[in-house]
Structure 1
Amino acid sequence: MSEKQVYRLQGLSCTNCAATFEKNVRKLEDIEDVELNFSAAKLTVHGNTTIEELEQAGAFDHIKVYPEKEQKPQIPFYQKRENQLTALSLLFVLIGYVFFFQLGESFWLTIATFTLAIAIGGYDLIKSGLQNLVKFQFDMKTLMTIAVIGAAIIGEWAEAAVVVFLFALSEAVESYSMDKARNSIQSLLELAPNRATIKRGNEWMEVDIEDVVIGDTMVVKPGEKVAMDGEVIEGLSSVNQAAITGESVAVEKTVGSNVFAGSFNEEGAMVVRVTKFSDDTTIAKIIHLVEEAQAEKAPSQQFVDRFAKYYTPFIMILAVLVMVIPPLFFNLSWESWIYNGLAVLVVGCPCALVISTPVAIVTAIGNAARNGVLIKGGAYLEELAQVDAIAFDKTGTLTIGKPVVTDITALKGTEEEVLKIAGALESYSEHPIARAIMKRTQSITLPEAEQFQSYTGKGVEASIRGTRYKLGNQKLFAGFRLPDVSGLETKTILYVGTNDEIIGYIAVADQPRNNVVDQINRLYQQGIKHAIMLTGDHHSVAKNIAKALDLSEVKADLFPEEKLTTIKELKNKYGNVVMVGDGVNDAPALAEANVGIAMGGAGTDVAIETADVALMGDDLAKIPDTIQLSKKTLRIIKENIFLALGLKVIALLLVIPGWLTLWLAIFADMGATLIVVLNALRLMQKNMV
């Protein structure tokens, strides 16, 4: 298998440049495959190559290449070579206009100064444009090159210089905005330390995190960041893990608690057993998956890409028609209509349109990640904006998932005897309700249960002291006369009995999460009409819980596999359905829904891998927050596409009365780019909404 190398890129500012760079890398010797993630400025190469060869492939756009593990240097905006050349070009444009007004537009000094402005600001542009023209590859640089050269040929030196400067300025703005958007997730890379204090033998020493292995013992002192994922084996502390889960309040960590790389230890010292390699930590997975998500094209971006494919040839044909038809058929001036045709080429540059969607998607997904919400791609971000119904698993989602025994009733014998039999029957089970019963029996000596048998979705059965006992819901006791359980409608009832009679029952209740009702109401306010609870509980119990939580509908008595069928039915009935679950037992239903949201993904690999969206913490408020973010993102994308196309249509209409000038054309294009970029960067607000 070929060697895989991953690099970070600097100077990758436009999608066309990225495509050209990828094509050049593929042509290198010993390269088998190339994956270029434009949104994350990340290059994955399968094969043998060097950084020098890669930079040579990107020399046309001055792309710099760095190993993935190496910290990419942050070059200030004013120190970048292309920005300095843009500023120098502006200086010569201004000097040129001084000569223009003092000496005239045809004076050699005026022309020479404007030519210098074109050469300095447009060298890279014209070089790439001419190379593309020779290869019959028509992109925005090709259009601009034809327009600039054409303007110079017909003597419009001043406008050619202004066009070059404004295009360079537009490229600088685009580059700055993409860097800003990328840094929204790249900043996560700096959260986890590069070194950890590890015990080797009898000594503590600092080592690179790449050299730490699973099972190593790590110490985390107060005021330090946790370097690796692990389990606390000694110590007590409060840890701020906002970078992972989005929780603003520090979480108490004791022996047995999990800690995550990148979280901040506030108080006590902790000794931690490392449980994951550096590349597998939760923060590393978040970064990797978010970068992959940013590269996934949303439906709106796919539309823009398809549109741009036909848009550029259309603009070129339109420009030729504008240059030729009026002089040929209406005997109008060749010079003025060639000029108008060149203006059409400039205004038709698809720069703003191409960047309108990706900059919004990248910014939104990065913002969500910083707030503890992992969205797997732009498609899911858009789907969330159009949700019609949302289905919740009950246990561990709407509730905290830790039920407690609230009532014990004996119909025969004593309550302690009923509890002993229940404890013996549940001693073999790991179900949450079983753990609640076992917790209640901690101080009681339990009899031994033999010949244990489990009935999925019903209960358990075993022999105790020669008698066959059962523990379960009403399905397990079908045909029995069930006792009256008035007043316990919101709780789960487990009946205890033999093959002949029921000897008692136990009421178990799970506690709803904080502010569940408030968050459900927020979803209704966002236009979601149907909030449904899916549960294996008896219908009467589930109905009362759903009523208390202000849910619109409940689907009860469901076996795990029936949740999948229920999601299919909800999709047929309501349309776009979101499923919220724990990411493990609900995996089939999460996969079937239009968007699957897993709760509490931090530390749960299955949740992160299977769901379309993972809430790294257990905060239900993140669901309406994320839906609000998705609606805002979709609105901004639509605004951007409308603005990018609208400004161009208006500018093109100015050709008819002859009002469209070259400088106005490029100003319209640059203005559209600047507007869509600034509009998209509104999504960087920390509160996500």
Structure 2
Amino acid sequence: MSAPDPGAERHHQRTRYRVTGMDCGSCAAKIETALGRVHGVHGVGVSVPAGTVTVTHEPSLSPDAIVQPLSALGFGVSGSEAGTADRAQSAGSGDGHDHGHDHRHGAGDGAWWSTGKGRLAIASGAALVAAYALGKLVPATESWAFLLAMAVGLVPTARRAFAAARTGTPFSIEMLMTIAAVGAVVIGATEEAAMVVFLFLVGELLEGVAAGRARASIQGLTKLMPDTALVEVGSRTRSAPAASLAVGMVILVRPGDRVAADGVILSGESALDEAPVTGESVPRRKGEGDAVFAGTINGDGVLRVRVTAAARDNTIARVVRLVEEAQESKAPTERFIDRFSRFYTPGVVVVAALVAVLPPLVAGGEWGDWIYKGLAILLIGCPCALVISTPAAIAAGLSNGARRGLLLKGGAVLETLGGITTVAFDKTGTLTEGRPKVTDVVAFERPEAVVLTLAAGLEAGSSHPLAKAILAAAQQRGLPSPAATETVALPGQGVSGRIDGHRLVLASARAAGESVALTPAQAERIAVLNAEGKTVSVLLEDGVAAGLLAMRDEPRDDAKSGLAALRAIGIRSLMVTGDTAATAKAIAADLGIEPRAELLPEDKQRIVRELQARGERVAKVGDGINDAPALAAADVGIAMGGGTDVALETADAAVLHGRVGDVAAMVLLSRRTMANIRQNITLALGLKAVFLVTTVIGVTGLWPAILADTGATVLVTANALRLLSLRS
């Protein structure tokens, strides 16, 4: 069953359920098959790491029709997720599935011994010990004791096996286990049958513990949110649950507090530690008008913040939701493994049957020996390790990325990134800061400090980006901004006014040249600055050029090192921008990147298509708005942003803290994840191949067979979980 069809969702309802006890790829396959057979269901998306099942269905379909097949398979359904589903439904505990049903509780719901899986494994182990003791004390009861010990674990396993068979999965791991255990009893290997069932339950418990750890890695982000917030009501404040905050409310954030909601600072200034949300290690100084994100930590100042997003829509909630949705999107390798396993498991059953039957029929072998070997092959062939090899690594990679501010929307994106050969960067706001800065202050008739001071006085109160750059430069140098009078905006030219009785004009170089005579040296200096891609404003004082200021949108601090990191891993970079050729050439020369300038959005898309036609695999990095056509055309579209809606909701991936170097980090994460997947597949199939040979030649039997399967599953999961601790 495929993931929900986007086209179908326009006409059908989409509901996401939290499912407990879903710990491996085989669980996911059973759920997809069972729900796919329900009339009125049009799509099923399963995320094992997130513990969610998303169902696209007819609006008239009752919740019971979806919950009942899951309950029959032994899974617990705790309800649909708020904000991402349309209705909730809880599966009751009194449905006959709670007694000894190890899927009823996920490993992550508490200590392992308190879960259904833990209790069943403990009961089976205790029964096995009791059977050994009884067999020693009363040898005549030994076989019956082991038969009863086996039944403790096999009965609930067999019930799940037959439930899976009824819902379309006849070759489930539980069915293979049931056949092997019953077969072992038939040929008199009762003690081994009991031990194998116990080892199987221990293996399932270990799978649950590992899956719970992977699930907690991304859900742990939600713990960054404080429980309460200080809400302003009139002139007083009151404590309120953070979950109850609504858009427009004003909250007070004290030093050391976590910010309880996304918002905008109304008053106050402080350094905010944004590492929990963006991965940025250095606290950022923020003041009035700046955006703050839920979960970040306030440093040294008191802030009044107006809430801009409710709890379910804040940055952390969206990141968690988007990562969970991404985990439902299967990578090409994962889809291949799923298809392969559909033929692999029935193939194992056929091989096991042939091994059990052919040697006695054709070569006169002992029936008991060869049936035993056939049963062992059934256990060796359990597909859990193979099926979990890819999704476990993909989920760990996605979670690791999210915790480092690298948001990748699905396994397919994560897999594709590793093969990228060219990255096309937008300039403004991507390679550069996205706002101009004063780069040069040149004195003609007045000292540099006076030129900057007078220019700041003229621009005081203006919201124009160039005016903000001048005011910021003056503030940075500790210069005053004297109040100007009679200020007048000169459309297309600049601004004029009076300071200390002097008439001042801050005009573009062209407008200044038309109103006063610039010397050849002054004109040459302006031409040089223009050639460097800088915007030049000339300060005229009483009709004389007193000096000039040059401004440019400067490269991000890590732009040069980020591009170098891409070159180091064999990836070519390209700048595609709508800015002028002179500006693009100047910035590109600083960064060591090839520029393509004066492009419209459709031109950027055309360049991406041309690169792809030459066999390149292209990633497009932009702001997610004016680069939309190119982002969509690229093999992977990456949005730059600081946790904004655009950065989170558009493109295939997002760099939340806007570091150019994180593009290379994304590619490396992809490559390491794919290497991990290859290791997992080799480990899963290699162990099975070794034990298949040793079983056929009589070296190993039932115990090593189930240990091989359990061991391979645990090793594969543990190997995937190594990706969670990846730092660079």
Residue 669 of structure 2 aligns to which amino acid in structure 1?
A: L
**Alpha-carbon contact 2:536-2:551 (below 8 Å) kept:** no
Name the TM-score, length of structure 2 as normaliser. 0.79
SS of structure 2 residue aligned to 1:155: coil
- Give the deviation of 1:309 after TM superposition: 0.9
| Contact 1:122 1:168 survives alignment (8 Å) | no
For residues 62 and 159 of structure 1, the distance between their equivalents in structure 2, rounded to whole angstroms, comes to 29
Q: What residue identity is the alignment partner of 1:361? A: I
- Matched with 1:376 is 409
Counterpart Cα distance in 1 of 2:192 and 2:672: 39
Quote the offset at 1:76 in angstroms. Answer: 0.7
Aligned pairs for 1:244-283 (under 5 A) are: 244-283=277-316
Q: Aligned to 2:721, which of 674, 681, 684?
A: 681
Task: Mark the CA change 1:159 to 1:133 in structure 2 (over 3 Å): closer, same or farther.
Answer: farther
**What's the CA shift for 1:25?**
6.9
Change (3 A) 1:55 1:129: closer
Task: Return the alpha-carbon distance in structure 1 between the equivalents of residues 172 and 149 of structure 2.
Answer: 23
- 1:530-576, CA deviations, whole angstroms, 9 ceiling, x for partnerless residues? 1212233444553443343233x322332333111111122223521
Give CA deviations for 1:424-445 in whole Å, capped at 9, x if unaligned: xx99x99966865898999877
1:664 aligns with 2:664: no
Match of 2:119?
84
Determine the structure 2 residue equivalent to 1:457: none
Shift of 1:313: 1.2
CA distance in 1, matches of 2:614, 2:246: 51
Given that 2:26 and 2:383 are in contact with CA atoms closer than 8 Å, whether structure 1 keeps it comes out as no
Decide whether the 8 Å contact of 1:61 with 1:124 is kept in 2: no
Distance change in 2, residues 1:542/1:30 (3 Å)? closer
Aligned residues: 654
Query: Could you give the per-residue CA deviations for residues 492-541 of structure 1, whole angstroms, max 9, x where no partner exists?
Result: 155999xxxxx99985433222233222222222232x121223344455
State the Cα distance separating 1:39 from its structure 2 match. 2.8
CA–CA distance in structure 2, aligned partners of residues 306 and 518 of structure 1: 42
Structure 1 position 57, deviation (Å)? 4.2
Residues 109 and 115, structure 2, Cα contact 8 Å, conserved in 1: no
Residues 491 and 507 of structure 1 are in contact (CA less than 8 Å); yes or no, is this contact kept in structure 2?
no
- Separation in 1, partners of 2:467, 2:623: 19
Structure 1 residues 440 and 567 mapped into 2: Cα distance closer, same or farther (>3 Å)? Answer: same
Q: Which amino acid aligns with 1:65?
A: S
Equivalent pair of 2:19/2:77 in contact (CA under 8 Å) = yes
Residue 533 (structure 1) aligned to one of 572, 575, 582: 575
Is the 2:73–2:163 contact (alpha carbons within 8 Å) kept by the matching residues of 1? no
1:39 matched to 2:49? The reply is yes
Check the 8 A contact 2:229/2:242 in 1, yes or no.
Answer: yes
Q: 1:677: how far off?
A: 0.8
CA contact (8 A) 1:490 1:545 kept: no
Q: 1:301 to 1:30 in 2, by over 3 A?
A: closer
Selected match of 2:159 from 127, 130, 140: 127
Structure 1 residues 539, 53: CA separation in 2 closer, same or farther (over 3 Å shift)? closer
Residue equivalent to 1:491: 532
Show the counterpart of 1:356.
Answer: 389
Does residue 75 in structure 1 map to residue 110 in structure 2? yes
Q: State how far apart, in whole Å, the 1-side matches of 2:183 and 2:295 are.
A: 55
Cα distance in 2 between the residues matched to 1:224 and 1:55? 45
Work out the CA distance in 2 between the residues paired with 1:367 and 1:147: 39
Determine helix, strand or coil for the equivalent of 2:288.
coil
1:207 is displaced (CA, Å) by 3.0
Match of 2:376 among 326, 332, 343: 343
1:639 aligns with 2:679: yes
Ranges in structure 2 where 5+ consecutive residues have no aligned partner: 1-10, 83-87, 89-105, 475-480, 494-504, 513-522, 539-544
Distance 1:253 1:495 in 2: 29
Of 379-388 and 47-56, the range deviating more from structure 2: 47-56
Find the residue that maps to 2:395 and give its secondary structure.
Answer: helix
Cα distance between partner residues in 2 of 1:53 and 1:266 = 48
Q: In 1, are the aligned partners of 2:536 and 2:548 still within 8 Å (CA)?
A: yes
On the 8 A contact 1:400/1:510 being kept in 2, the answer is: yes
2:519 counterpart residue number: none
Percent of counterpart pairs with the same letter?
39
Taking a change above 3 Å as real, the CA distance of residues 29 and 271 of structure 1, as seen in their structure-2 partners, is: farther
CA–CA distance in 1 between the matches of 2:127 and 2:472?
81
CA contact (8 A) 2:397 2:673 kept: yes
Q: Deviations over 1:643-685 (max 9, x none)?
A: 1112112222234423341112111111211110111010110
Secondary structure of residue in 2 paired with 1:114 = helix
Q: Contact between 2:563 and 2:661, CA under 8 Å: does it hold in 1?
A: no
Kept in 2: contact 1:93–1:161 (CA 8 A): yes
Q: Could you tell me which residue of structure 1 aligns to residue 590 of structure 2?
A: 548
Instruction: Identify which range, 202-211 or 584-593, moves more after superposition.
Output: 202-211
2:5 maps to none
Which amino acid in structure 2 is aligned with residue 14 of structure 1? C
Taking structure 1 as reference, are residues 53 and 643 closer, same or farther at Cα in structure 2, changes over 3 Å only? closer
Opposite residue 574 of structure 2, the aligned amino acid is I
Following superposition, the deviation at residue 162 of structure 1 comes to: 2.2
Q: What are the superposed Cα offsets for residues 167-200 of structure 1, whole Å, 9 maximum, x if unpaired?
A: 1121111111111111111111222134332234
Task: Please name the residue that 1:599 is paired with.
Answer: 640
Deviation at 1:19, TM superposition (A): 4.8
- Give 2:71's match in structure 1, choosing from 55, 58, 68: 58
Instruction: Tell me the TM-score normalised to structure 1 length.
Output: 0.83
The 3 A distance-change label for structure 1 pair 219 and 47 is: farther
Tell me if structure 2 keeps the 8 A contact 1:30–1:49.
Answer: no
- Identify which of 616, 622, 626 aligns with 2:662: 622
Q: After superposition, where does 1:351-500 map in structure 2 within 5 Å?
A: 351-406=384-439, 487-488=528-529, 491-492=532-533
* Matched AA of 1:172: L
d(CA) in 2 for partners of 1:98 and 1:490? 91
CA drift of 1:29 comes to 11
Structure 1 residues 409, 573: closer, same or farther in 2, change over 3 A? farther
SS at match of 1:311: helix
Find out whether 1:11 has 2:21 as its counterpart. yes
Distance 1:159 1:47 in 2: 50
- Specify which of 110, 118, 121 is matched with residue 150 of structure 2: 118
